[in-house]
Structure 1
Amino acid sequence: MPDPVRPFLRWRLAAAVALLAAVSAFAWRQWGPLPVSVARLERGPAVDAIYATGTVEPTVMLPLAPRVGGRLAERTVDEGATVRKGQVLARLDDADLAGSVDEQRARLDYSRSQHARAAALAARGFLSSGEAERTKAEMLAAEAALRRVRAQRDYMALLAPADGTIIRRDGEVGQYISPGQAVFVLACCAPLRVTAEIDEEDISRVRVGQPVVLKADALPGKVFDGSVAEITPKGDPVARSYRVRIALAAPGALQTGMTVDANLVVGRRENAILLPASAVQGNAVWIVEGERLRRRAIVPGIRSPQRIEVLQGLDGSERVVAQPGADLAQGRRVRVQAGPR
């Protein structure tokens, strides 16, 4: 007959082994070497910069609109076209005004002939001088009327006020254009610039002439230099920002409308001690000395999202825990594993 005690003992033995394994694993996690990744400090330039996003735009943008209303009869250029000063860009339908010009020209011809006849008769004494003056006044009025309708007809043609590039077109042939309604936007007269929004907390550190380093996602790997040209005196109370204009040293491949990342350089120190920003916890770092952890306070300097300058507390030879967790403790044993440098 099987002994009922033996299965019970085997079960208790298995449970004891499992408990011992769990206790051992817990003890290993608690007191065994903790795996950590370390990052050696580097030396290089520490740049104190104000980060902002901006947009490339022309320095001068002129909306071009007719003085009078009418149907758009012709458009000779489109977006991206390079134009010259005085070039006809579009015409409104001027059929009615063309008829008015012909009518006024005929009236002027008639009034001139009448005045010439009256002046000749007055000179011979067959007509009073007052009558001759009246015909002269009528002739002058006809000349003024002809100039007026010609000017109105000329207003139907939209001309380029300067050399430049058409960066926007809003009118379609056949569309009625109201007086003052922009048909084109002309970029002219000056190179491209960048307009950036600076947080109100940083605007006190921005100065005209300050160097700026720019990068565009559309042009990876390329860096553009610029400088602060203008700072708007009034901020946006809703966005809590100020608008800053940045002059480009050389626009290169930048194009109107591109978004750029702008770093306004406030200060720069060469040969600074740098470490990853992720390694700093409350102005302190964890250092691996032999196989033990040591917490050391530091005096940070220039900060960026990626790196932090160390002014005091480290000499550059230390191995610093790259990403310290909550389980680190003073004097705890660690095992260094591969990680970011």
Structure 2
Amino acid sequence: MVVLVGLGLLAVPAIAMIWWQWPVRVQTALPMRGPAIEAVYATGTVEPTVMVSVAPRVGGRLTTIAAEEGQQVRRGQVLARIESSDLDQTIEEMRAREQLARAQLERTRSLVEQRFVAQAELDRTRTEWLAAQAAARRAVVQRDYNQLVAPADGIVLRRDGEAGQFVPAGQAVFALACCAPLRVTAEVDEEDIARVAVGQTVMMRSDALPNRLYEGRVADITPKGDPVSRSYRVRVRLIDAPAIDAGPMRSGMTMDANLIVSRREGALLLPNRALKGDRVWLLAQGRLKRRSVVKGTVGTDRTEIVSGINDGETVVLSPPDALREGQRAHGIPASADAQSSAALASR
């Protein structure tokens, strides 16, 4: 029994030594070369470059709807009418007064020629006739306000009104797009706006069109930001912008936009999960060693490494905290999950 206990005590250090020297299994990967892209992330909305709202100048009840959403309209075309029976009566009244004033003018002119009345009376009746004419024209113009007409050639994007509905003055009934293709308006955080400039390339994607990638250029930047949202409006001109009614891109869609700040070809890229702060673990000749690196562009999946490691060196992915310098390890190459071609930075 004493001999067995002694042998057991001798086996404990041996087992501990074997466990200590036993190679740890780690997942590994090699650095890759590709473009490192630094970009500013923003969300935007697709909209027409030129959009016009059509609203009545006077309130009233809609009697006729003459245009529907998606319809092409011409300049001057009547889109809707508002009830105007009271104005019709006013026009008839003004025209009757104009006729009376004209007749009075003719009689006065005849009396002046016969020298029964003075010239001043003719001047007065002429003035009354001109005033009656102006009042009749004004009544016609006011009735024309009850017609909503297209201000330019375009397409009806939206209609907010039905026959019989009361519409207050100034409330838009139609939204028209005309004269120019679609564009994207993005909101850029004030912390990033200093890195945005006119002419920058913008790459965009929409959840509604997951298989499409759109390219554009920064067209203009609003000079004044929104103090509430702390953002600046940036308008992006689409390259090969589709027509407003062509699809599949449609006005109102939300776009995820990356405004390209810089692009470096052939950069050394590492998966983000290989980094512990500014350090990585390397596996060389079956042993682990830790090394400091200098990072460049930090992307969502990969990070640019400016210095610290070289091509062909094996790095450990998701290194455990228990790794030790010089520890023996067995590397398991990670599957080439995504040979990403870019490191895209949001800030």
How far apart, in 1, do the equivalents of 2:335 and 2:281 lie? 15
The answer on whether the counterparts of 1:232 and 1:244 sit within 8 Å (CA) in structure 2 is yes
Deviations for 1:128-153, whole angstroms, at most 9, x for unmatched residues? 43333333222212111110100010
How far apart, in 2, do the equivalents of 1:235 and 1:126 lie? 75
Q: How many residues align?
A: 324
Partner of 2:175: 185
The answer on whether the counterparts of 2:29 and 2:333 sit within 8 Å (CA) in structure 1 is no
How far apart, in 2, do the equivalents of 1:31 and 1:280 lie? 25
Partner of 1:60: 50
In the TM superposition, 1:252-263 aligns within 5 A as 252=242, 253-263=248-258
Are 1:332 and 2:322 matched, yes or no?
Answer: no
Partner of 2:74: 84
The answer on whether the counterparts of 2:200 and 2:218 sit within 8 Å (CA) in structure 1 is yes
In the TM superposition, 1:1-341 aligns within 5 A as 31-252=21-242, 253-341=248-336
Structure 1: gaps of 5 or more residues: 1-8
Distance 1:173 1:334, change over 3 A: same
Shift of 1:264: 0.9
The answer on whether the counterparts of 2:71 and 2:156 sit within 8 Å (CA) in structure 1 is yes
How far apart, in 1, do the equivalents of 2:50 and 2:17 lie? 72
Shift of 1:30: 5.5
Shift of 1:239: 3.1
- Alignment-mate amino acid for residue 93 of structure 1: E
Partner of 1:4: none
- Alignment-mate amino acid for residue 317 of structure 1: G
Shift of 1:29: 6.7
The answer on whether the counterparts of 1:288 and 1:294 sit within 8 Å (CA) in structure 2 is yes
Rg comparison, structure with higher value: 1
* Moved segments of 4+, more than 6 Å: 26-29
Q: Which moved more, 1:305-314 or 1:228-237?
A: 228-237
- Give me the TM-score of the superposition, normalised by structure 2: 0.85
- Give me the TM-score of the superposition, normalised by structure 1: 0.86
Deviations for 1:283-304, whole angstroms, at most 9, x for unmatched residues? 1211121222121222211221
Shift of 1:187: 2.5
The answer on whether the counterparts of 1:322 and 1:340 sit within 8 Å (CA) in structure 2 is no
**SS across alignment from 2:249:** coil
- Alignment-mate amino acid for residue 325 of structure 1: P
- Alignment-mate amino acid for residue 27 of structure 2: S
How far apart, in 1, do the equivalents of 2:143 and 2:228 lie? 46
Shift of 1:79: 2.7
Q: Which moved more, 1:168-177 or 1:117-126?
A: 117-126
Identity %: 50
Q: CA RMSD in A?
A: 2.6
How far apart, in 1, do the equivalents of 2:190 and 2:17 lie? 52
